[in-house]
């Protein structure tokens, strides 16, 4: 993980002292951030009190809430590799990679029904 992860989280923070929530699947990231002096809520669930939320890319169950969080100014760091997911679910289904739903809405201006 190292410096690139620390830089990404710092860049995503709305202010220097912002609380960073880290999903329980990313314990190593929590430890890295804590070691660097970042204010971290390890094992966090998404909430408006966070400045940044860090999660893996394999679960889109919170897609609508994540999109709202980002649209309201929260920083979102998602780590994962589509090739790994596709290798387990079939290459034909790579467009259904859970992260696609979130990224399309946030970064391409598309909306998931009910997220406006």
Q: Which secondary-structure segment (H or E) carries 77?
A: strand 75-79
Taken as a whole, the chain contains a residue count of 116
User: In the structure, what pLDDT confidence band is assigned to residue 108 with cuts at 50, 70 and 90?
Assistant: low
Position with higher pLDDT, 3 vs 111: 3
pLDDT of residue 94: 64
Say which CATH topology domain 2-107 has.
Rossmann fold (3.40.50)
Identify the pLDDT of residue 76. 94
Strand arrangement, sheet containing 20-22: 40-42, 20-22, 52-56, 75-79
In which band, very low, low, confident or very high, does the pLDDT at 109 lie, cut at 50, 70 and 90?
low
Q: Tell me 116's DSSP state.
A: -
Residue 1 in this model has a pLDDT that exceeds 70: no
12-71 pLDDT, tens digit per residue, is 999 999 999 999 999 999 999 999 999 999 999 999 999 999 998 878 788 889 988 998
Could you tell me which of 75, 58, 98 has the C-alpha nearest to residue 11? 75
Most confident of 43-47, 60-64, 80-84, 87-91: 43-47
- Taking the domains of the chain in order of start, what are their residue ranges? 2-107
Q: How confident is the model at residue 106 (pLDDT cuts 50, 70, 90)?
A: confident
């Amino acid at each position: 993980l190292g410096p690139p992860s620390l830089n990404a989280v710092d860049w995503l923070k709305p202010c220097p002292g912002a609380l960073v929530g880290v999903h329980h699947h990313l314990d190593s990231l929590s430890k890295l951030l804590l070691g660097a002096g970042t204010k971290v809520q390890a094992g966090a669930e998404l909430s408006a009190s966070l400045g940044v939320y860090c999660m893996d890319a394999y679960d889109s169950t919170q897609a609508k809430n994540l999109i709202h969080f980002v649209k309201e100014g929260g920083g979102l760091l998602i780590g994962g590799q589509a090739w790994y997911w596709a290798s387990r679910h079939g290459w034909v289904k790579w467009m259904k990679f859970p992260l696609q739903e979130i990224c399309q809405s946030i970064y391409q201006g598309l909306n998931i029904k009910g997220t406006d």
